[in-house]
Each structure stands twice: as C-alpha cells, then as structure tokens.
A and B are shown apart, each in its own frame.
Chain A
Amino acid sequence: MIHYKHLILSVLFLFSGFTFAQEKKQEEREPGHLNTNKFKQLYQEFSTPNQYRTASGAPGHEYYQQKADYKINLELDDKQQKIFGQETITYTNNSPDALEYLWLQLDQNVRAKDSKSPLRNGGGVPMYDSPSSFAGKHFDAPFDGGFKIEYVKDSNGKGLKYTINQTMMRIDIPKPLKAGEKISFSVKWWYNINDHVNQRGRSGYEYFEKDDNRAYVIAQFFPRMCVYNDVEGWQNYQFWGNGEFALVFGDYDVNITVPADHIVDGTGELQNRKEVFSKTMMNRYNKARKSFDKPVMIVTQAEAEANEKSRSTEKKTWKFSAENVRDFGFTSSRKYIWDMQAVKFGERTVMAVSLYPKEGNPLWEEYSTKAVVSTLKSYSDKTFDYPYPKAISVHAKNQGMEYPMICWNYGRPNEDGTYSDRTKYGMISVIIHEVGHNFFPMIVNSDERQWGWMDEGLDTFMQYIAEQEFGEWFPEAIAPNKKYPSSRGEASKIVRYMKGDQSFITPIMANPENVYQLGNNAYGKPATALNILRETVMGKELFDHAFKTYSKRWMFKHPSPEDFFRTMEDASGVDLDWYWRGWFYSTDYVDIGVKGVKKFYVSSKPTAKMKKMMDARGMKESDLPPFVYMAEEGSDDYSDKLAKGSALDNSSNLKEYMMDNFTAEERAVMPTPKFFYEVEFNKPGGLVMPLIVEYKYVDGTSKKVTYPAQVWRKNDNEVKKVIASEKELISITVDPDLETADIDVTNNSWPKKEKENKFKNFKSKVKG
C-alpha cells in the first residue's frame, strides 16, 4: 500500500512541476463560469417541495384536491342535432383557501362563431385548393357550435352572476367559499352538435347517408369545473384546441334521453338496464358477465341493420352513475352492434365493451374487444388493477379520443370489407392507446392543458409495452409478423425527429399549444425516452417498481411533472436529474462515437514524452522509482521485439513486482493481458447517455460493456478507456443494438464501416 502511495505521489510531483512550467507560458487567464455540468441537480428547474408535494415525489401530508359532483339531465335531439342539458354541480372546497369565485370550462366555445381559436394562426394563399375546402373557407357561414347558457342559479333558484371569457366562465358567488365548505348551483344550456368527420373535433356525430342515420360520440358537452390546486391556483388556461383537459374528480349521475331505438353507452354503470334492454339483450348481458374468453353479442349485426331502418318517435332515458371519475362521455346511435366480454381483477368483474356500426366490420367484431381486454391486463400489471367497472371502445370514423371508461377509435375497412394491415394495426394500436388513457390521465389525473406529455407520453410508452404483449398473447392475430409492429417506442423510431431541424423542435417540457410537432413532442419522444430509461438506463426491474410507485401514489390524484420525476428517482435509488434535464428539458440529441484507437505494448524504457518531462526536471532514470511504461505501436518507442514478448517479458519492474507479491499458484490463474488499447470515445451530441460498447476479438469472441452515463461527468466531449486483453481486438462498436437513439451511427465503429447503401439494398430487393 505504501509502495503504491509513493508511486502516485512521485508521479503527481513530476506532473505538477511540469504543468507549472507549461502554465507560465499562458498569458491570459480564463474567466470563471457557472455550473453547466449536465449532471447538475435540477434545483432551478424543479418547484420547491412543500407540504402538498414532497421531495420524494409523493403527495404531502397536506395534499388536497377539490371535488365536483354532477347531476345532469340531458336530451339528445337527433332530428336537429342539438343537445339540451341541465346540471346541478356540488363543489367541495377541500383547499385551505377561501375561493371568491368559481371557474368553469365551456369547451364547446372553441366552436363558437366568435371563437378566437382560429384567429391565432397565420397562413397565406395556397397555390391551389379543393373546391370543398375553398368553399368551406370562404363561402360557408361559420358553424355556431358554442354553448348557449340559459341560466346559472344557486340552490335556491336565484340567478348567479357569471362572466364568459372565451372557453372559461367565472361564476361570482355572493360570499367566498371557505375551506371545507360546499356549494351547489345549477346551469342550463344547449348547443348545436358538430359533424366530427367533416368539421372535425373530438366530439360530434358522423352522418351515414345511405341509411340516413347518425352515430354520436359526445364529450365536453357540459360546463365542467376547472381544477383549483396548489400548483396552478385556478387552472383556467383557455382551451385553444391542442392542450386537452384538466378536470376534477367527482361522482356523476347522468340521465340521457334519446330516441327510443338508439343504443347508448357511456361513463359509469347503467342504473336502469331492465328498462332500456330487451329481454334478449338482458339474457345475453348476463351471459357476457360470465364470458371470460370471448365476447358475447348484445346486439348482433343483423339486429343493428334492422334497427337502422327504425324511426321511433318515442324517447327512452338511459341512466348512468359513476363514482370518482374526472369526466363523462357517451355514445348514441341506431346503428350500433354491441359486444361485451368479462375480465377478472381479483374478485371484481370488469366488462370490456365495443360498439360499432356495421361499417366497422369485419374488423371490429374480431379485434376491438380483444384489444380492450389485452390493454386492461397489460396496463394493470404495470400500474394498479383497473378500478372502474367497464371499458368501452366505440368506433368513430377517423379519430381517437379518450374519456373515463369510454373512448372513440378509428380503423374502418373498405366498403367491400377488405382492409390493409395499416388499417388493422392502426385500429388495434389506437384502441390500446385510448383505452390505456383510462390509466393516464383519467385515473393518474395529470394536467393535460399544461403538460401534454404527462398523459400522452406515459400512455404511448405503456402502449408500446401493451402492443408487444398483445403480439405475444395473440400470435395468430399478428401473423406473419413475429412481433407487433409498433410505430412508436423503439429508440430507432425517434431518430428522425431527434436529428431534425432544431428550429422546429421544442423541449418536451412545453405547453402543447406552443410546440411544432405535437405528435413527436408529446407522444413519441417522451414514450421513447421512458422506454430507453426502462430498457437501457435503469433496467426493467428498477424502472417498473418506480413506475408502479408513481401510478399508485397518484392514482385518483393530480400529479405534476416533478412528482413523476422525483418518484422515479425516489423509488429506484437512481439519480436521474441528468436524464430528465437532457431528454425532457432540452432538445439535445444522442450522438456518441469511437474517435480513435491506439495500440500499446508494455515496455521497460521511458517513452519519448516521459524523457522530455524528465529532461525538463533534470531527472535521470535512476532517480525514478520502478515504473512500467507503454509504447505505442508505430511510434519511436516501439520495436518489433515488444510485440513478440509478453507484458512480463517486456518489463522487469512488472515481473519483479508480480514475483514479490504473488505466489506461483496465484500467478497461474491471473489473466496476463498482452494487448493494450487506448480507445477514445467522443460525444458530438449534447445528450448524456450510457456508453454501450461491443468489443470483438480476433478469435471471434466479443464482450459488451456498458459504462454508466456518469462516464461523461467530467468531460462532456470525450473520454478515453484503456482496454487490456489477452486477445487482439479487431473491432469496436458503440451502441451495437441501436438502443440509445444515436442520430448518427456512421461514427459508431472502429474500424470505420462502409455506410450501408439503402438505395442499393432496396433496388436489389425489388429487382432481384
């Protein structure tokens, strides 16, 4: 030990003298700088922990959330495509603050005649335009789809003053609502329902010309309470169209009156099944509740087709009741085919449900409910058992959108019933994604208005896992593919975005209204970042435990980004500030390469460089302790003799040391490396990542080494490694399995690889 110490000290001494001599030559002193280290903790970016949200990422001891209970009576006018509603909201102030006013969301006002949403975008005259688009832009009167508020009254029927500011409504209450108090008030309204296929939108109807029917998928149809919490105060950021919703948990009783021949399903449990179901439907439903392996038809295609021709003038009221949900959505049409299957979670039976017009078949009857069941199982396994009584997938022509227990999904076959793989996988993927949204954000209720990625990114990440499991559980459904063709999740899929034009890329931590490519920004990149974190940085076990901890901690609560970031570190013991900083707070990309490789042999003679240093200090070889030197192949220090001998042959100092300190038996089992390499890795990209390296040797063996990301902590640009080996090294590859989203792999190999010619490969594939 002392021996080593002496060595190290003497070397330090030598070098310090040498550096001193060098420093004298420098005239200008470099200025100081702030801490720009990529491993710096995120104290500036993160909010300060407090009694509501702890530094561990869990809800604090004074965490609170508001409650909003709704009783809604609704009538759907199919003839005029209008909705008439009356609601009583009971709002409980669980915050420690007195509230002087209440804010409600009027999302439909984004479609009001005077909506500011369309005015916020620029654009010039196009070179050409389709007649329908042109007419729509310049000839049609704007659609009037905004809320018509008839009244806002307190519980005694007295009018309450309210002010509408675009998509937000402030209700001025006579006296502040103190901590712990409740207030009840009623709102009456109506609005014109839009055509969600042609006018687009997340809610609306699709018109089927052939049989003159509509299928309604209805949401954001009622004035909804804004969130009030410790992070945002009142979250009354306007609904411009991209940033989705921030909503309060509560209990819902919703009565929906529709034409008597409509089939309805929505959030919550149906309370009057016997009134609205025929006896046949009732029997089939009871059968479905026990059918765990396949769906049972509640309404068959033949029945749905017969129903399409009906024009009942009677009405029926469907009554739904839901506990602890943040929103309510429903669907209604004469056209629906309806199937259900039971899924077991512990003692509970959850129903997986699909509703689709005949236009969705044969695709929907085959895959929709199957995908719902599969999603519930995959997501529950990684988070918590799905707590709601059902999950519904409704077929809407060309949109995917999620609400508690219900979602709309695209995927329509051609009219002759044929469909491409793209349609099929698009449909299964969108169902997995939208049903998955039940977990994020319907239950782990993040603020979508502010942070699109918190639900879309986490959900798209989980979607990848669920898609892969779907492929494993139903190999016949994905044949001839060996694995499910996920379009997002794998590192390689995000490369094109990450290496794109920086002026069109925003950090993930940005409001969804202000990003250029929402799909990549809020879905693709965070999903991939989490997938890489799971598979490459943390490992599945640590990641899955932390992710589950986050899900459980924030189940039925309102997490913020820090709550997620902190929990992932807190539950795993992995410092990830560098990862969040790079992937979530910056637009940096991964580019790591191997810059150069030098080969060395052990030598007994000081190298030229060493000699120069010794001369500068006036030292002779005899002044030095016993050192081992390394001579670079091809340099003046090198001779062929060195290449022939072993490390011990080449250095008597080393040999003596080994003889003195180890027995012959010990020496016999020690590795005796002969080849020494200095490998220089460089990092042109800004993102810090683990350095994954595959070393291949002359005898055909290889070794994969993962150096932790911390290898870059003292030099963000390059790092050298000494590789000692008994066998000659023939190649080095950085990130051999393409797991880090390295945007330029042309610098990943030594010796440098010929770049593959994509064109040549494709041409030979096509032309043979």
Chain B
Amino acid sequence: MQLVKLKIIVMMLFVSLSSFISLHKYYVSVTDIEYAKETKSLQIISRLFVDDFEKVLQERYVDTLSLDDNSADFYIEKYFGKKLMVSINNELQQFNFIGKEIDGDMVHCYFEVENISNIQSINVTNKLLFGTYESQQNITHLKINGKKKSFLFIKDKSSGLLKL
C-alpha cells in the first residue's frame, strides 16, 4: 500500500517541484461524528492517511515525529484542536482525545465531547490537512438522533451546519 502511494507521491512531488501542483493522489480524510444518547457524548473518529498526516505534523511540530510513537499523541491533540471545530447550539466544544490506532496506511483518531444533551444545531469546521495538500477533501458524516448529514469539505468551504 505504501508502495503504491509512494509511486504516486513520486509523481506529485516531481511535478510540484517543476512549478505546478499536481493532483494525482487522492487526498482525503473521513470523519464520523455521532451522538451517543446513552453516554450523552459526541463520538468522533477521524481517519487520515498516515503519510499525509505524519508529514503535516512533522512540518508543524517535530521533524522526526512518527505516528507509530505515542509521543505523537500530544501533537495530534494539539493539531486537531486547531483544525477540527465543533459547535453545539452555537457553543464551541472542547473535546477529549481518546487515542489513535493505525490500520494499514490509515490512522484513526478518536475524540469525545462529553455532557451533551438537547442538540438543536451542530456546526462543524474541518480544516484537517488543508494547505499542505491543495486537493485535500474532508468527508464528514454527522449522525445525530437519527438524522444523517454528510459534508464534503474543501479548502474554500470547510464548515457546515446541521439543524435538528
């Protein structure tokens, strides 16, 4: 898997250094945000490509950072705090980082917002990996009290609102 992506990255970087940005690779992340009634919490799982995410964290924080390492958790939390924003009933929420797991070439990051009840509206801003990857798309699925809504966020449109 890494192999193929590398081949594609090869071309992407090669072309970008020759003064154009190429869109060969599919830059995408998927975030599921679901409300769990029984725990009164918002459960968030974000899935990102390991190599893309690692590169962004290395550029921003530590050159040698590796997502295999638990020391990366601090930076994951920090980065998400800036790039993924969730407001419930117009109030910005703080979320807890539960952990991450690597599955093939994807890293799954888990967050939770506790003590949530009576959601009337939820606003999500998802800017993960924008900027570094011009064509980055962040698919975001919301599932709140049986109501479903999906967003495809791009650089120019990175937030969406679901009213219940």
With A241-B11, A759-B110, A762-B99 already in contact, the answer to whether A429 and B16 are too (CB < 8 A) is: no
User: Nearest Cβ in chain B — how far from A626, in angstroms?
Assistant: 52
State whether B26 touches A516 (Cβ < 8 A): yes
Q: How distant is the Cα of A400 from the Cα of B5 in the complex, in angstroms?
A: 10
With A199-B17, A422-B68 already in contact, the answer to whether A399 and B7 are too (CB < 8 A) is: yes
* Among A115, A504, A758, contact of B18 (Cβ-Cβ < 8 Å): A115
Chain A residues with CB under 8 A of B13? 200
* Among B19, B23, B45, contact of A122 (Cβ-Cβ < 8 Å): B23
A201 contacts the other chain (CB 8 A): yes
State whether A127 touches B130 (Cβ < 8 A): yes
Chain B residues with CB under 8 A of A127? 130-131, 155
Chain B residues with CB under 8 A of A122? 23
State whether A767 touches B98 (Cβ < 8 A): yes
* Among A118, A129, A759, contact of B15 (Cβ-Cβ < 8 Å): A118
A133 contacts the other chain (CB 8 A): yes
* Among B21, B26, B112, contact of A504 (Cβ-Cβ < 8 Å): B26
Chain B residues with CB under 8 A of A123? 20-23, 134-135
Interface string of A400-422 (1 = CB under 8 A from B): 11000000001000100000111
State whether A524 touches B4 (Cβ < 8 A): yes
A517 contacts the other chain (CB 8 A): yes
State whether A200 touches B14 (Cβ < 8 A): yes
B24 contacts the other chain (CB 8 A): yes
* Among B8, B19, B50, contact of A519 (Cβ-Cβ < 8 Å): B8
State whether B16 touches A136 (Cβ < 8 A): yes
Within 8 A of A (CB), among B88-122: 98-99, 101-102, 104-105, 108, 110, 112
Chain B residues with CB under 8 A of A79? none
* Among B8, B11, B45, B66, contact of A758 (Cβ-Cβ < 8 Å): B45
User: Nearest Cβ in chain A — how far from B1, in angstroms?
Assistant: 4
Q: How distant is the Cα of A518 from the Cα of B155 in the complex, in angstroms?
A: 23
B43 contacts the other chain (CB 8 A): yes
User: Nearest Cβ in chain B — how far from A465, in angstroms?
Assistant: 16
State whether A762 touches B101 (Cβ < 8 A): yes
Q: How distant is the Cα of A522 from the Cα of B18 in the complex, in angstroms?
A: 26
With A421-B68, A518-B7, A519-B5 already in contact, the answer to whether A759 and B43 are too (CB < 8 A) is: yes
State whether B11 touches A242 (Cβ < 8 A): yes
With A127-B130, A130-B59, A487-B105 already in contact, the answer to whether A121 and B20 are too (CB < 8 A) is: yes
State whether B1 touches A137 (Cβ < 8 A): no
Q: How many residues of A contact B (CB 8 A)?
A: 63
Closest to A513 in B: B24
A430 contacts the other chain (CB 8 A): yes
State whether A200 touches B11 (Cβ < 8 A): yes
Chain A residues with CB under 8 A of B7? 399-401, 518-519
B71 contacts the other chain (CB 8 A): no
With A429-B3, A433-B3 already in contact, the answer to whether A133 and B16 are too (CB < 8 A) is: yes
Interface string of A751-768 (1 = CB under 8 A from B): 000000111101100110
Q: How distant is the Cα of A720 from the Cα of B125 in the complex, in angstroms?
A: 46
Within 8 A of B (CB), among A721-768: 757-760, 762-763, 766-767
Q: How distant is the Cα of A512 from the Cα of B7 in the complex, in angstroms?
A: 12
A488 contacts the other chain (CB 8 A): yes
Q: How distant is the Cα of A399 from the Cα of B17 in the complex, in angstroms?
A: 17
Chain A residues with CB under 8 A of B10? 200-202, 399
State whether A410 touches B112 (Cβ < 8 A): no
User: Nearest Cβ in chain A — how far from B108, in angstroms?
Assistant: 8
Chain A residues with CB under 8 A of B5? 519
User: Nearest Cβ in chain A — how far from B80, in angstroms?
Assistant: 15
B6 contacts the other chain (CB 8 A): yes
User: Nearest Cβ in chain B — how far from A467, in angstroms?
Assistant: 12
Closest to A400 in B: B3
State whether A121 touches B22 (Cβ < 8 A): yes
Interface string of A98-133 (1 = CB under 8 A from B): 000000000000000001011101111011111001
Chain B residues with CB under 8 A of A126? 21, 131-132, 134
Q: How distant is the Cα of A757 from the Cα of B132 in the complex, in angstroms?
A: 32
A523 contacts the other chain (CB 8 A): yes
B84 contacts the other chain (CB 8 A): no
7 cross-chain CB contacts under 8 A: A118-B19, A128-B131, A137-B21, A400-B3, A414-B64, A520-B26, A763-B110
Given contacts A118-B20, A126-B131, A763-B110, 9 further A-B contacts (CB under 8 A): A118-B19, A123-B23, A123-B134, A137-B16, A140-B17, A420-B66, A504-B26, A517-B25, A760-B43
3 A-B pairs with least C-beta separation: A519-B4, A123-B21, A127-B131
On B, residues with C-beta under 8 Å from A are 1-11, 13-26, 34, 36, 43, 45, 50, 59, 64, 66, 68-69, 98-99, 101-102, 104-105, 108, 110, 112, 130-132, 134-135, 139, 152, 155
